Structure 1
Amino acid sequence: MGNLNIDQYIQSTPKQTAHRIQSEAEAIEIAKQLAEKFKQGAAERDQNRQLPIDELNEYSQSGLWAIRVPKEYGGIGASYRTVVEVFKTISSADGSLGQIPQNHVAILDTLIFDGSEQQKQFFYDLVLQGNRFGNAFSEIGNKHVADFQTKIRKEGDDYIVNGKKFFSTGALLAQWIPIVTVDDEGNVYLAFTPRETEGLTIVNDWSSFGQKTTASGTVIIENVRVPAQYVVPINSFTNPTPTGAISQILQAAIDAGLARAAIEETINYVKHYTRPWIDAKQESATEDHFSIAAIGDLKTRLLAAEAVLDLAADQVDLAIKEQTEHNSAQASILVAQAKILTTEIAILASNKLFELAGTRSTLAEHNLDRHWRNARTHTLHDPVRWKYYIVGNFFLNDIQPERHAWL
C-alpha cells in the first residue's frame, strides 16, 4: 500500500475524450461487454490487492461514467433502471470496479440539485471528457457519520479547507476529489479539488478483507485552497430531493451484483466440480434434490430483490422529475426495501456458495471467499436493521424518513 506513485497516476488520467454513449440500450450493452473483460483477472486482482488501473481507465473511457449527465449538457440522462443495471452488471464481474464509480454518479445528481449553471456546464463537460470524481466524504472517530469535522472558511475569493477523511472510494485514481465540508455555522459544502492540488494527500491504506481494490483509504486535507467556482453549497437534504435515495440505490445495485456473481459461481462450481453426497445415491451433484432446491431459492430471492430495485429506480426517477415531499419519501422507502432484500441475498448467496460447492471450494487457489468477503464488507455500509425500522415506522406510524445520504 502507501501513496500511489506518479507512474501509476499518469496511467490513471484520461488520454483521450471518452466515448459518447447515445442510448440506454447502448449503455447496457457496453456494460455487458466490459463485465466479460473485467471478470478475467478479478480473483487475481483481489488476491494480490492489485488496483484495477487499466480496467478503470477502460471503464470511464467507455462513457458509462457519464450516463447520468443530463441531455441538455450533452449526456443521455439515463433512467435509474439503466444506471442500476449497469452497476449490477459491472459489480457481478468485479465488486471493487462496481463500487468505485458509486460516489461519482451520485455527485452528477448533486450537481443537478445544487450546482449553479456555470458549475453544471464545467463539471459535466469534464465528465464527458472522461474525468473521474473520487470522494472525500466520510470521517472516522466522530460522534456519527454526519458529524463532519472537516472545515471550510472563506479567504478572499477562495475557500480554505482542512480535515481528514476515510472510506474515500475512488479518490486515489480520480482526477478530481469532491470534499464534503462544513463552515462554522454548520452549512455543508462540496468543494471540488483537482487531484494534484497542494495540501491534498491521498493515502492507499485501505486494509479491509473485502472490496480490497477500491483503494477506499485516507484523504488528508491541509490548507487546501479551492476557488469559489468549485464550491457547491449543499441544500438538497433541506429540499425534498431524492439525494439520499440515489446514494442508497447505488449501494443496493452493487449488492445485487455481488449476489449475482456468487450465485453464478455456485452454479458453475456445482456443475463442474462438486461430488454428489454419498446418501444421495446419484451420479452427479446437479441431481441432488437439496442442491436443486437451494439454487431455486437463491434465484427466486435474487429475482425478487432485483424487481423491488427496479420499482425503487422508477420512483427515484419520478422524485427527480417531481420534487415533492411525497415522492421523496416514497423513493427512500422503496430504496430501503430494496436495500434490505439485496443485502440479504448477497450475504445468503455468498454463504451458500461453500455449503453447496463443498469443502474443496474453500481452497485458496480458487479465491471464492472473495464473494463472501465483498458482500459482507459492502453490505455494512448502512445497517439494514435500521431499514426495517424506517419502513415499519412509515407504514405503521406515518413517520416520513429522515433526509441524509444514508437513507
Structure 2
Amino acid sequence: MTTTQPATLEEALIRIRAILSEFAAGAGDRDVNSEHPDALIQDLADAGFGRLRVPTEFDGFDVDLPTLFALLAEAGEADSNIPQIWRGHFTTVEILRLEFDAEVRSHWLRAVSRGAVFGNAQSEPSTLVAAAVAEGAANRGWGAIATRVRTDENGRRFVSGTKFYSTGARFADYIRAAVVDAAGDRGFVVIPARHPGVTHVDDWDGIGQRQTGSGTTRFDDVPVESHGDIGRFKESLRGLDSFVQIVHLANLTGIARSIVAETTAIVRDRTRTSLHATTQQARADPEVLGVIGRLESRRLTAETLLLHAAERLEAAHRSGAESDYTRAYLDTSAAQVAIIEAVLDAATSAFDAGGSSVVRNSAHLDRHWRNARTLASHNPVVYKPRVIGDFLVNGIAPLPGYYRDRPSVTDLSSESDTGERVTQ
C-alpha cells in the first residue's frame, strides 16, 4: 500500500494511462517468457486504479459503471491479463459499496483508497469439493466448499483450505475468500494475502491469460481480519453476476481493439504479398483490406454491446428494482454470446491479413486468440442462450448465483428484537 495516491481523478487517469502504455510495450514478451507483471500491478495500485469505484465519501473517485468498464477495456487493449487480475478487487469493491454494516464498509473502502488491493479465492479444486460432498458437507448457500473457518477458545477465527483459479491473489494485500463455518454456512471473509500461512503456487497452465496468477493458493490457519465478514446479505450482492461477466466483456473488447491495431500495422508494413494477389502491396489488396474492415466491424460490435451492458447494470443500481437486475443479467448474457463470437472470429481472421510471418512467435498475434478463448471459457457461454430463451418464451427469470440462498438484511429484525446490535 502507498501514501502517494493521486489527489484527483484527472491526475489518476494520466498516471494510469502512462502505466498502461508500459504494459502494452511488454505484453507480447511477457506472454512468451511467462513473466508476471508484479511491479506494474503495484504501479497501477499506486496510481489510484483500485479507487475508481470507491465512493467519494471514502476518498475514492466514484466513477460510474460505463466509465469503469471503458477503462477496463483500455487496460485489456494494453494487456488482457490486467482486467482479470483486478477483477476480484473490483468485485470486492462492488460488494463493499452495498455492504450493510457501515463500519465494515468504511474500514475497507478507506483501505482501498489508501492503495489496498484485493485478490480472489473462491473456486476450489474439484477433488476437494467432491470429498467435502462425500463427507456430507452440503453447505448452505452456493453449494459445497471445503475451505473451513474455525474459531478458537479466544474467539479468534482462522482459515484453512486450498483454492484454485485464485486470480489476482498473488498480487494482492488482502484476499476475499469463500469459506464455510462449523454450522455449514458459507460466506466471504477477508484474510491477509502476505501472511506466512498463505502459499501462492505458480501452477496456472492455461493456454491463455498466463500472467494472471490464476493457480493454487493454500491457507494454513490464516487469521481473519478485523471487520473481516463482508457480503453477508443478498442486498450487497445484487447485480454481481452481471458485473463479473461485464469485466470479461470489457477485456474481450480490449482484445478486439488490439487485434485491429496490430493487424492494421502488419498490413501497412508488409513489403511482400501473395502470388495470387491482384496488387503489388498488401495495403492496396482488396481482399486484405476486406479482412481489416471485418475486424473493425467485430471491434465495433464489442464496443457497442459493452456500453449497453454497462448502462443496463448502472440503471439497475439506480432503480434498485429486481426486474431491472434481471434485465441487466439477460442483456449481459446476450452481449456475452455476441462479443465472444465476434472477438474469437476476429482473432482467427486476423491471420488472413498477413503472410507466413504472422504465425511466428515473435509476432505475438496468437496470444489474442488464446487469451480470448480462455476468457470465453471462464463463464461458459454455452448456457447463456438457453437462459435468454427460457425468459423470453416462458418468462422464467435466471436465479442470481451470488445470492442464491443468502439471507436478507430483513432477517436481522429478529436479532434486533432480542437486543443485539444491528448496524445501520
Give the TM-score normalised by structure 2.
0.86
Does 2:61 correspond to 1:76? Answer: yes
Counterpart for residue 326 of structure 2: 329
> The residue matched to 2:272 in structure 1 has which SS?
coil
Return the match for 1:183 from 181, 184, 187.
181
1:368–1:274 distance in 2 versus 1, CA, 3 Å: farther
- In the aligned structure 2, how far is the partner of 1:73 from the partner of 1:186? 34
Does 2:103 correspond to 1:118? Answer: yes
Is the CA contact (8 Å cut-off) linking 1:73 and 1:121 kept in structure 2? yes
Does 2:43 correspond to 1:55? Answer: no
| More moved, 80-89 vs 384-393 | 384-393
Between the two proteins, what is the percent identity of the paired residues? Answer: 28
Counterpart for residue 221 of structure 2: 223
Does 2:355 correspond to 1:375? Answer: no
Question: How big is each residue's C-alpha offset from its partner over 1:351-404, in whole Å with a ceiling of 9 and x where there is no partner?
Answer: 112222121111122222212221111221011111111122221221111202
- In the aligned structure 2, how far is the partner of 1:22 from the partner of 1:28? 6
1:29–1:283 distance in 2 versus 1, CA, 3 Å: farther
Counterpart for residue 113 of structure 2: 128
Does 2:212 correspond to 1:214? Answer: yes
- The alpha carbon displacement at 1:240 in A equals 7.7
Return the match for 1:313 from 297, 300, 310.
310
Is the CA contact (8 Å cut-off) linking 2:302 and 2:343 kept in structure 1? no
Counterpart for residue 276 of structure 2: 279
Structure 1: 5+ residue runs without aligned partners? 1-13
Superposition pairs of residues 114-193 of structure 1, within 5 angstroms: 114-141=99-126, 142=129, 147-155=144-152, 156-193=154-191
- In the aligned structure 1, how far is the partner of 2:397 from the partner of 2:146? 28
Does 2:4 correspond to 1:17? Answer: yes
- In the aligned structure 1, how far is the partner of 2:270 from the partner of 2:184? 58
Counterpart for residue 7 of structure 1: none
Question: How big is each residue's C-alpha offset from its partner over 1:34-67, in whole Å with a ceiling of 9 and x where there is no partner?
Answer: 3222111111111111111221121111112111
Is the CA contact (8 Å cut-off) linking 2:347 and 2:368 kept in structure 1? yes
> The residue matched to 2:325 in structure 1 has which SS?
helix
Aligned amino acid, residue 299 of structure 1: E
> The residue matched to 1:221 in structure 2 has which SS?
strand
Point out the structure with max Rg over C-alpha. Answer: 2
- In the aligned structure 1, how far is the partner of 2:390 from the partner of 2:321? 20
> The residue matched to 2:357 in structure 1 has which SS?
helix
Superposition pairs of residues 259-298 of structure 1, within 5 angstroms: 259-273=256-270, 275-298=272-295
Question: How big is each residue's C-alpha offset from its partner over 1:174-228, in whole Å with a ceiling of 9 and x where there is no partner?
Answer: 1111111123454332111112324222222222231111111111112222145
- The alpha carbon displacement at 1:298 in A equals 2.0
- In the aligned structure 2, how far is the partner of 1:175 from the partner of 1:296? 44
Question: How big is each residue's C-alpha offset from its partner over 1:156-183, in whole Å with a ceiling of 9 and x where there is no partner?
Answer: 4332322210111111121111111123
Does 2:237 correspond to 1:245? Answer: no
Is the CA contact (8 Å cut-off) linking 2:160 and 2:220 kept in structure 1? yes
Counterpart for residue 299 of structure 1: 296
- In the aligned structure 2, how far is the partner of 1:147 from the partner of 1:251? 25
1:20–1:239 distance in 2 versus 1, CA, 3 Å: closer
Number of residue pairs matched? 391
- The alpha carbon displacement at 1:76 in A equals 2.2
| More moved, 350-359 vs 397-406 | 397-406
| More moved, 185-194 vs 77-86 | 185-194
Give the TM-score normalised by structure 1.
0.89
- In the aligned structure 2, how far is the partner of 1:135 from the partner of 1:268? 37
- In the aligned structure 2, how far is the partner of 1:391 from the partner of 1:282? 47
Is the CA contact (8 Å cut-off) linking 2:98 and 2:237 kept in structure 1? no
| More moved, 154-163 vs 298-307 | 154-163
- In the aligned structure 2, how far is the partner of 1:99 from the partner of 1:110? 17
